[in-house]
Chains A and B, each alone.
Chain A
């Protein structure tokens, strides 16, 4: 079989690594060989963070080559844009609409691309794009920290994976006292996308 390649992109502090850990665990629970690799900058907060995850019968390199990513999960619009070279005409992009402007933007040294540019570029770079405002929804649900798991929920309808497996993987990585909050966030993300994309 062909490998399934994922890329998760976010900003330091958004829980990108945790989300990718859950995806790797999910792959292993299904029975795949799994590899993942993270790239994070110097600081704990503020820098771009990306994780490659690959599922397959046998995975060699832990990262995908350009044009080979099947699913891009981005926690911030320009972080999605930054990774479009990895996509191809069959790829799916799911992104969080909530913007986290870099300090270069907030201090006037650079400009944040317009919504029009963001959506057009992402549409042209993949077969399918969809988005939710996961940050706002997560705040409503009780904690901004659950945004990452809500985004996993938003990705989940595109993958043929049992809900119980997702939940088992989530439980392994989130602190016990936040388990329910996160499982709920996962389902919120999942339902929003299912409705939006008319999944049966």
Chain B
């Protein structure tokens, strides 16, 4: 049986075919669809959950693997920073059953705050690491990863990138092996599983020896593939970049590594001897290149190919041509440059009917300093709002707000954090702020969803991704009160007046105040209201409604002759009837479809 699967669907299928029984993770592009797929297709056989954060996910998977269940963790590249604390101890301990961690990196920063290369974690943690080139290998490498994990008693890292996770290729499907229903008792093996210094000392020696054992085994493994063609140029590469190399250098000899940590040193030396010129082609950092150079082999790599962004075939070809590796082709004349530069950009915007719109409209109006966090609401940093002034990592906003108050700037500041992000890593900094007497307003934007990554559940929601979908809902308001916050105001996120008054009230407070803006993501409520319309007679073309940045509010062809500006209309195919634009209209020109019909703001 063959099917077209995305890399993430293939990783999920791999978990099924590897006999994995527990999968945990926190959502993050481009990794989120792995657990989504398991929840939809394989949850009869595999327990999966969205954990509150990546570290919690890693610990839970470790506990399950210690107890004899094959387990897997999924994360995006920056989630690895959260997860790594626990990854490192699992490399020391090993487990009773296979344990695989998948990191999905984001070269090109399609949905991330940085372009970190998680292959460095392979070296830091001394963890064997596989890198697939397509969905077939994505599936196969999970199975292989569990095999290696159990053979060498070590977790295995699988490194994906957006182009693996989100591309689709044909996959041959296999079967799920028999897995034990019952497992042996929890191993009370303190020297193996308790990383106290006296045991950890021995574990470290084991880690070093194990790495050498794996390297020895790797030299003859079928994970490495050599394709002999012309030997003038030899290329060492791995992962999806191998498929680009095939298109750009169809005649070159290639050593394609399936395992990228450790590396097969003997095999690389042999390959190097048989080619005239050796080139390492890898996206982002020179992780392979530096190790191969350390073997005393002369290579080219980052002197030719940039360490920034994706190394897609067009770009790879440009770099290679510049370095004289490829013949210069007559390049097609660049006749579209000017035109393409002037095309109006389509920057991402809050969806029509988004509950965040009114909050940023208000923050922009009040001109408060805003420390931001990670989620859809970071779109509040874009025009017309320009109201999220910092953003760095998950949960950072509250700590940054605390620091702003420590700096004693003359304004009272605000921070924004989503419901899922608050549970992920917002609770420790809030407790810190209350305990140490900070001042500022924490706006928790509760849209009942982990929206940006595809509407996954989190502890504030009454369902989850497990088989029976049953989950305990944790209410945010009593939670923050229990954390010692004395001023807590909850408002309807769709009601501009309520949001404004709530924020003003909180800004007055001498201490830590929490404003909860409650309003469901339009993709959660799935309850669009009928579209609003503009009464052209009443519209004075003041364009105040454009300040809510809604794609459904567009320019009409009719002008107001007094100010020579175009009036406004609403695209009925886009409007979800949230009423925010009509609330800010000074002349009441934006009208509800039927009078008396309840709107989201009520």
Contacts and interface: CB of A to CB of B under 8 A. Distances in A.
B562 interface: no
Contact of B344 (A37, A66, A102): A102
Given A43-B376, A60-B247, A35 B167 contact: yes
A54 B345 CA distance: 27
Contact of A106 (B348, B523, B554): B554
Contacts of B553: 106
Nearest to B344: A110
Contact of B549 (A44, A103, A135): A103
B336 interface: yes
Interface string A34-60: 111111111111111000000000011
Interface in A72-105: 78, 81-82, 84-85, 101-105
B263 to A, nearest CB: 23
Nearest to A106: B554
Nearest to B573: A144
A61 B313 contact: yes
Nearest to B378: A42
B379 A101 contact: no
Nearest to A79: B346
Contacts of B167: 35-38, 62
Contact of B346 (A11, A65, A111): A11
Given A60-B243, A125-B336, A24 B168 contact: yes
B451 to A, nearest CB: 8
A158 interface: no
Given A25-B4, A33-B170, A42-B452, A102 B314 contact: no
A121 B351 CA distance: 31
Contacts, number: 152
A60 B252 CA distance: 14
B348 A60 contact: no
B220 to A, nearest CB: 26
Contact of A108 (B340, B345, B555): B555
A11 B352 CA distance: 14
A104 B347 contact: yes
A106 B546 contact: yes
Contacts of B546: 106-108
A61 B343 contact: no
Contacts of B555: 101, 105-108
Interface string A165-180: 0000000000000000
A45 B347 contact: no
A2 to B, nearest CB: 13
A48 B243 contact: no
Nearest to A117: B339
Contacts of A35: 134, 167-169
B343 A81 contact: yes
Query: Which of A44, A59, A106, A109 has most chain B Cβ within 10 Å?
Result: A106
Contact of B379 (A36, A42, A139): A42
A113 to B, nearest CB: 7
A134 to B, nearest CB: 13
Contacts of B246: 60-61
A183 interface: no
A141 interface: no
B344 A78 contact: yes
B168 A36 contact: yes
Given A62-B243, A103-B551, A144-B573, A48 B346 contact: yes
B313 A107 contact: no
B500 interface: no
B336 A84 contact: yes
Nearest to B569: A106
Nearest to A47: B348
A107 B545 CA distance: 10
A33 B317 CA distance: 24
A78 B344 CA distance: 8
Contact of A38 (B166, B339, B350, B383): B166
Nearest to A107: B546
Contact of A65 (B4, B110, B111, B317): B317
12 contacts: A35-B168, A37-B168, A38-B167, A42-B348, A46-B349, A61-B244, A81-B340, A107-B383, A108-B546, A109-B344, A113-B342, A121-B339
Which are the 3 A-B pairs with shortest beta-carbon distances?
Answer: A43-B348, A110-B344, A60-B246
